[in-house]
Amino acid sequence: MIVRVQGLEKAHGARQVLRGIDAQVARCETIAVVGPSGAGKSTFLRCLNGLVSFDAGSVEIAGLSLMPRTPPDAPALRPLRARVGMVFQSFHLFPHLTALQNVSLAPLHVKHEPREAAEERARALLRRVGLGDRCAARPLQLSGGQQQRVAIARALAMEPEVLLLDEPTSALDPEMRGEVLSVLRDLAGTTTMLVVTHEMWFAQNVASRIWVFDEGRLIEDGPPSEVTENPRTDRARAFFRAVK
Amino acid sequence: MAMVALPLALLVAASGLARVRAQGEIRWAGDLQGGEPYVFRDPRDPSKLVGFEVELVRALAGKLGLGERFVQNDWSNLVPSLERGDFDLIVNGLEDTPALRGRILLSRPYFNFAEQLVVRRGSTLRSLDALRGHRVGTLASSLAHQILRGRPGIEIVLYGGQEEPYRDLELHRTDAVLLDSIIATRYGLSKPDLELADADVARGSYVIGLRKGDDDLRDAVDSALAALDAQGELHRIYARWHLPELPAPAPRADEPPPATFDLQQVALFVKGAGVTLAISLLAMALAVPLGLSLALGRMYGSGPVRLCAHGYIELFRGTPVLLQLYILYYGIAPLVHLPALAAAILGLGMNYGAYEAEVQRAALQAIPVAQSEAAAALGLSRGQALRLVLLPQALRTALPAMTNDLIALLKDSSLVSVITVVELTKQMTITAVDVRSWALPGALCAAMYFAMSYPLARLAARLEARLEAAGEEPVVAPAT
């Protein structure tokens, strides 16, 4: 198991956001994390790479374990971040750098790869996400879909063992979602991915498993057809009815 | 026609004497900063003015049957203020110089003094000839200043007050001070480490200054002074203040003609502008890294570091830079002996560092938190995130404010003249007194400041545009 989560709890002040999550992910699985907004999906994802500290429970990811109440800027988290990639809803590319520099930044400075090798691989990754001709462009000159594809290439450049994607298509116009989703479909099966998403088509056709979150609990966990057609809980049934 | 001409004629006919008679009092000006024994606040009752010039004016006004009223005015601007009509007389140790005589009316001398050379006890440099190649302090635009300028090879150090030249002499920052006997006695020879090297380098006299056109008032003042002298009243005043009287100076044959605004003056201006530019750029080069460290300390430091950075910023922003320069140059001199230029750069740099700290902090805080998160998620350390992601973005945001500060610094640098650095503005005031006009030196000074600040502004605009343009894709030849 490349991800193992036990009894994960998290509160924002008085509000309990995660109420004891237990879950496991095998290598090269694609997990679609779905559920109504406010269910704790994004918080859960951020707990997995330490961007949000949790109160109780344990996380083992990519061979490393994460302790409760580790501050997000703790130096101890750096090896973990190098093995767990993250893609954000609003891309968060570095606006002062070109696409190529965005992608090669972490390999150069975290992994200390030689410049030529890092840039060569960055170019290859940008080609892989269909942006081989936009290496010199800055984020502001790219469309939202293109920016998100650069962000995926940036995360892949660290050769992560697990890739976390937090609603990667929610900030995009419908016509741009397809280009990002097709990149993710190409990655599925070769990369371990956890994708928080509202794209039911993606969850049903690309994911190996669907997790349904509701009020801080993981209420469904199974193959897409089983979870979407025969949910075990009423709340999951209500959710799928609503998004159809 | 007659209606217009009549008041006009009255205005022209209105003499100085008629004017003061209509006022019922003489308005006379001096600078209280000049202090003892000229005109100063009575230490026992600060609401009263005392000094030998106060007694002189009272005796004078009594002779003319008028009251008197003191007007405070910065010493270096007494003449322009007189010409503006702010008061009728200057009575404040005004020295009779040819330059002054050409510009305003002067009364007969009321006091004769000697220019005295004061040195450190035991010094071997005891004459102006011996001081060739050495530093000699004096007051700007004084007779002593003029005498020193007639001696090539002497490096002149200019001050605004009469206490500081002797303090710097004690501190070995200069090798001698040339000033008149009243100042030398009160402020120089009262220090145990200093002694008189030449008691009579030259003679000069104090005169009363009047506006051009007030000839009848000048005549009235002259005859009143003559009467006071004949009755022994002047002598009694000087005796009360222990001022040694000397015979009137012999007319100097070698009196230099008043300076003209020539190429030599322009060269001095260029030199002053160079000093201004060098001080400003070096101070900014100090202020930016200092400000950055303070901003980072305040944002990311531990409790005590944060407190220190915050304290520094508030202290240096909240007190006048003039005071900071004074403390740096005179205040800590017994501990750290800074040369004037170093004190100027350090003082301005430390002051502007506090402002730069806030500029940098604002720029860093304007960057969305998500940028730090994205950097952290890639495994960058906090230091790497700052250096590679946050600071390059903050620099762009801060650039316009930093340019603004540099231009402000260029002009604020004129303050360093209080610690004897002659930069552009100081050069302008010296020249203006020499050539008896503020118009040309003032215009040249303004033009030179503009010539320095405008290119800086253009340069910053170009840099900004370059950083913006860096956001555009460079044209790449298609691969064949």
pLDDT in tens, B29-59: 999 888 889 999 988 988 899 999 999 999 9
Q: How far is A151 from chain B (nearest CA, A)?
A: 10
CATH class of the domain at A3-243: alpha beta
Chain A partners of B364 at a C-beta cutoff of 8 Å? Answer: none
Assigned token pair, A108: 């150069």
- Give the dihedral sign, CA A132/A136/A141/A146: positive
Asked if B369 has any chain A CB less than 8 Å from its own CB, the reply is no
Q: Which pLDDT band holds residue B254 (cuts at 50, 70, 90)?
A: low
> Is A5 a residue whose pLDDT tops 60?
yes
pLDDT in tens, A65-120: 999 999 998 999 999 999 999 999 999 999 999 999 999 999 999 999 999 999 99
Q: What is the pLDDT of residue B368?
A: 93
- List the one residue out of B92, B126, B112, B119 whose CA is nearest residue B202: B112
pLDDT in tens, B117-136: 999 999 999 998 999 999 99
Q: What is the pLDDT of residue B361?
A: 95
Cβ–Cβ of A92/B371 closer than 8 Å? Answer: yes
Q: What percent of chain B has pLDDT over 70?
A: 92
* Cβ proximity of A18 and A47 under 8 Å: yes
Q: What is the pLDDT of residue B14?
A: 62
Q: Selecting from 3.40.50.80, 3.30.300.20, 3.20.20.80, 3.40.190.10, what CATH number does the domain B22-109+208-240 have?
A: 3.40.190.10
Q: Which residue of A has its CA nearest to B394?
A: A96
pLDDT in tens, B69-108: 999 988 878 888 898 889 999 999 998 887 788 889 999 9
pLDDT in tens, B317-347: 999 999 999 899 888 888 888 888 999 999 9
Q: How far is B468 from chain A (nearest CA, A)?
A: 9
- What are the domain boundaries of chain A? 3-243
**Mean per-residue pLDDT, B365-377:** 94
Average pLDDT taken over every residue of chain B: 87
Average pLDDT taken over every residue of chain A: 93
Chain B partners of A73 at a C-beta cutoff of 8 Å? Answer: 376, 382
- Which of A78, A96, A138 comes nearest B381 by C-beta? A78
Assigned token pair, B58: 């009272």
Q: What is the pLDDT of residue B46?
A: 87
- Picking from B378, B381, B391, B467 by the largest number of A CB atoms within 10 A of its own CB, the best residue to mutate is B378
Q: Which pLDDT band holds residue B301 (cuts at 50, 70, 90)?
A: confident
Q: What is the pLDDT of residue B419?
A: 85
Q: Which pLDDT band holds residue B451 (cuts at 50, 70, 90)?
A: very high
Q: What is the pLDDT of residue B36?
A: 84
Q: How far is A20 from chain B (nearest CA, A)?
A: 24
pLDDT in tens, B156-195: 998 888 888 999 999 899 999 999 999 998 899 999 999 9
Q: What is the pLDDT of residue B178?
A: 94
CATH class of the domain at B111-206: alpha beta
**Mean per-residue pLDDT, B13-26:** 85
Cα–Cα dist A47/A164, whole Å: 11
Peptide bond before residue B98 is cis, with ω within 30 degrees of 0: no
One fold for both B22-109+208-240 and B111-206? yes
Element (H or E) spanning A31, and its range?
strand A30-34
Point out the least confidently predicted range of A232-241, B216-225, B429-438.
Answer: B429-438
pLDDT in tens, A9-41: 999 988 999 999 999 999 999 999 999 988 999
- Which of A82, A134, A136 comes nearest B379 by C-beta? A82
H helices present in A14-162, as ranges? 41-48, 78-83, 99-109, 115-128, 144-156
Cβ–Cβ of B393/A49 closer than 8 Å? Answer: no
Element (H or E) spanning A136, and its range?
none
**CB < 8 Å & 24+ apart, contacts of B336-343:** B337/B171, B337/B172, B337/B173, B339/B173, B340/B157, B340/B173, B340/B416, B340/B419, B340/B420, B340/B421, B341/B279, B341/B421, B343/B419
Cα–Cα dist B353/A32, whole Å: 52
Query: Which of residues 58 through 97 in chain A touch B, CB cutoff 8 A?
Result: 72-73, 75, 77-79, 81-82, 85-86, 88, 90, 92-96
* Pairing of β B135-139 and β B105-106: unpaired
Chain B partners of A142 at a C-beta cutoff of 8 Å? Answer: none
pLDDT in tens, A125-173: 999 999 999 999 999 999 999 999 999 999 999 999 999 999 999 888 8
Cβ atoms within 10 Å of B201's Cβ, excluding its own: 17
- What are the domain boundaries of chain B? 22-109+208-240, 111-206, 263-468
Cα–Cα dist B34/B39, whole Å: 7
**Gyration radius of chain B's alpha carbons:** 29
> Is B256 a residue whose pLDDT tops 80?
no
Chain A partners of B471 at a C-beta cutoff of 8 Å? Answer: 95, 138, 140-141
Q: Which pLDDT band holds residue B474 (cuts at 50, 70, 90)?
A: very low
Q: How far is CA B469 from CA A96, B189, B397, B463, in A?
A: 11, 66, 15, 10
Cβ–Cβ of B470/A138 closer than 8 Å? Answer: yes
Q: How far is CA A22 from CA A60, A208, A216, B445, in A?
A: 11, 18, 11, 77
> Is B480 a residue whose pLDDT tops 50?
no
* Cβ proximity of B265 and B272 under 8 Å: no
Assigned token pair, B220: 């009235």
Select, from the ranges B299-303, B387-391, B453-457, the one with the highest average predicted confidence (pLDDT): B387-391
User: Span B263-468: which CATH code?
Assistant: 1.10.3720.10
* Cβ proximity of A165 and A206 under 8 Å: no
**What is the b/e burial string over B159-187, where b = at least 16 CB atoms within 10 angstroms of the residue's CB?**
bbebebbbbbbbeebbbbbbbbbbbbbbb
In this prediction the pTM is: 0.77
Cα–Cα dist B438/B273, whole Å: 17
Cα–Cα dist B325/B331, whole Å: 9
